[in-house]
Amino acid sequence: ELRASVLGDECVAVGAVCYGGEHLTKTLFNPETGPLPANSPPALMV
């Protein structure tokens, strides 16, 4: 499940994914299984 909320230009949270000005909390994120599904857009891991 992904919960999105607009944070403006900054994205500051460990274990979160940033899409431009959106902060998406990856509740199912697991470093061992990979950061994103193959069909997801590019993201910056912070």
Radius of gyration of the chain (CA): 10
Report pLDDT digits (tens) over 1-46: 445 444 444 455 545 555 444 445 444 455 555 555 545 555 544 4
Q: Quote the pTM value.
A: 0.14
Say what the pLDDT of residue 6 is: 47
C-alpha–C-alpha distance, residues 30 and 27, integer Å: 9
Say what the pLDDT of residue 41 is: 52
